[in-house]
Amino acid sequence: MSENIRYEETQLYCIRHSAAHIMAQAVLEFYPETKYTIGPPVENGFYYDFDLPQPITLEDLEKIEKRMRQIVAGGHKFEKKVVSAEDARQVFKDQPYKLELIEGLEKGGLDEYGNPLNEKPEISLYQSDTFTDLCRGPHVETTRQINPSAFKLMSIAGAYWRGDEHNKMLTRIYGTAWEKPDELKQYLQMLEEAKKRDHRKLGKELEIFFFDDEVGPGLPLWMPNGTIVADELENLAKEVEEKAGYQRVRTPNLTKEDLFIRSGHLPYYAESMYPPMELEGVKYYVKPMNCPMHHKIFSARPRSYRDLPIRLAEYGTCYRYEKSGELFGLMRVRSMQMNDAHIYCSEEQFEQEFMGVIDLYKKYFDLFNIGKYVMRFSLHGKAGLGKKFVDNERLWLKTEDMVRRAMQNGGVPFVEVENEAAFYGPKIDVQIWSAVGREFTLATNQVDFAVPERFDLKFINKEGVEEIPLCIHRAPLSTHERMIGFLLEHYAGAFPVWLAPEQVRVIPITDGQNEYATQLAAQLREKGVRASADLNSERMNAKIRSAQLMKVPYMLVVGANEVEAGQVSLRGRDGSQKNNIPVAEFEALVLDRIAKRSSEL
């Protein structure tokens, strides 16, 4: 909440910000012709973008890191100086990227990415040792407040200036910094574990999804195993939403340009949409979101206050043109199926409906054992009114207050973040952390005070007067793509039984038990269990190893004794083993785990 300490106010933030400056100083000493740009702290570390006169390698990072430790040992002060734009231009007369930033600060009140700031900021410099940077701060007092054993340079990447693929490609050097050496050690260990859990690696090994150049970047192809996981998530959502009074709808993937002009998406969202196709003189777009069509369904017949709230849900496929450099496995794609719904309600119903969505979040977090999450309350920025946000300050303040009061009344902690709202209203975005501490932006709960009026949405209130409803956009399970990517990493590919693509594999010891294994697998499938029999010619241990590699929860080993007694020997994916189990007992176990969507084996 508002009393929480923001990351930007912590000592760790200052350490990382200062480490970025120290790294830039070292780079400039080795490569004096370098043009330098920005170097912010980020989650778990920092980076700096350079326009270097020559390529550098990972080996070069070692000498840069060594020089950084020498600079740290010097105990240099970080000194702030507020200057005029003209003085700043003199300081950075040979640094074109800095001159561009100064121009933005002076004329437009723009940040380093060209986004509008709420007010025209002061122009300040920070000096430490031989390095001066254009910077708002904050920093540590002296370099000795940075532990020389608690930072490390991590990697090199390409990055377009200001994130625009039309600009020059720069060299980005990433580093990490912590207050104590033990924290760095723990972080590096976590990264090693995260490599093993990388959803791109697991997605290939477990035959969940893949990408193909002929199909196109960012357009995932779901294999049978991945389709099962997606179907199970969709079944979960349908079951939960049906109980919560949602109605399911379907809408086309293609629509006329006029719909998105009316909704306002084209003016505000055009860069994220695929270009139009023209047929018979009419422009059509593939849809980037479902909401305009859901508005049409709401308005298809007259509505009364007795009808409200109306909750329309759809797992529709949407298409968004993400920049090539920003595509990342399932986490950032161009084709997605989202757990989408729109709730139409009166102001009196708003708090209950909004918090009903928050309760859905928490129910799913419990189901998936997500213990760490943060609710981010995204607000508008005044400087972006009419550009990035709908130009209605009164309604922005009113709806933001409605969300704030609802969250406070519900006792749900949140942090407020300016300038990150949807173009049509404030929202709650949910940041979650996987089992290895990796952060994901998952769900969203958005208030729309603008678009219902554009679509002339109305209902007759208790006084018999027409009224415009509020609309809540929500996606508690995000998209299939992002949710499955997260779950792959969260579970390290070892899905709970109910979600596992293959739940049981029957393994005969010799060919003499093949018939029994086949019958047993068929019997389990009849009961709704995803089961198969491994009848290949390999030895039993090799078959067990194969099942383990595919993260199959249950392996049923059957030999002559098991056939005679009508039993199985159960091996769990976790290494547990139990022999001489009657088939009926195992059936009851697995069916119970599936029915309860249990995380237990």
- Supply the pLDDT for residue 367: 95
Quote the pTM value. Answer: 0.82
**Rg, the chain, Cα only:** 28
What is residue 172's three-state secondary structure? Answer: strand
Q: Phi first, then psi: give them for residue 407, nearest 5 degrees.
A: -65, -40
Strand partners, 385: 389
Q: What is the 3-state secondary structure (H, E, C) of 13-63?
A: HHHHHHHHHHHHHHHHHHCCCCEECCCCEECCEEEEEEECCCCCCHHHHHH
- Supply the pLDDT for residue 2: 36
Per-residue tokens: 506: 């029957």
- Supply the pLDDT for residue 1: 33
Tell me how far apart the alpha carbons of residues 504 and 586 are, in angstroms, rounded to a whole number. Answer: 11
Peptide bond before 121: cis, by omega within 30 degrees of 0? no
Domain parsing of the chain, residue ranges: 7-186, 204-365+443-490, 504-595
- Supply the pLDDT for residue 423: 83
In the chain, which stretches have pLDDT less than 50?
A: 1-3
- Supply the pLDDT for residue 206: 98
Domain 204-365+443-490 classification at class level: alpha beta
DSSP string, 91-113: HTTT-HHHHHHHHIIIII-B-TT
- Supply the pLDDT for residue 559: 96
- Supply the pLDDT for residue 460: 97
Peptide bond before 220: cis, by omega within 30 degrees of 0? no
Tell me how far apart the alpha carbons of residues 187 and 179 are, in angstroms, rounded to a whole number. Answer: 12
CB-CB contact of 569 with 557 (8 Å): yes
According to CATH, the topology of domain 7-186 is: Threonyl-tRNA Synthetase; Chain A, domain 2 (3.30.980)
Q: Phi first, then psi: give them for residue 405, nearest 5 degrees.
A: -65, -40
Instruction: Note the CATH architecture for domain 504-595.
Output: 3-Layer(aba) Sandwich (3.40)
- Supply the pLDDT for residue 433: 84
